[in-house]
Amino acid sequence: MVRVRAPRELLRYMVVKGPVCIDGISLTIIAKDAESFSVSLVQYTQEHTNLVGRKPGDRVNPETDIMARYIDALLEARAQEAGQ
């Protein structure tokens, strides 16, 4: 299991059982709190990626679900239109 600290701007687009990519590796979120999210590395992922070699404090590139970002943008546009 790997826990990754992430900024709130990214965490808002993450949900438990939803997708996330870490350094381009697609994973499923198994837990989330106000400061971080966790993923489980199945045997295949451990054997075929470099994530197992990461140490606490290493920097990674998390990418959130594109659909969540689209929905957020649509909702924001709707709220702006309603405010006009």
Q: What is the tens place of the pLDDT at every residue in 16-54? A: 999 999 999 999 999 999 999 999 999 999 999 999 899
Q: What is the pLDDT, as a whole number, of residue 84? A: 65
State pTM to two decimals.
Answer: 0.84
The count of domains in the chain is: 1
Average pLDDT, the chain: 93
Domain hosting residue 79, numbered range: 2-83
pLDDT value at position 11?
96
CATH of residue 67:
2.40.30.20
Distances, alpha carbon 82 to alpha carbons 15, 67, 71, 75, in Å: 27, 23, 16, 10
What mean pLDDT do residues 46-64 have? 93
Q: Token pair for residue 71?
A: 């929905």
pLDDT of amino acid 45 = 93
Q: Could you give the dihedral angle defined by the CA atoms of residues 20, 35, 54 and 59, in that order, rounded to the nearest 10 degrees?
A: 90
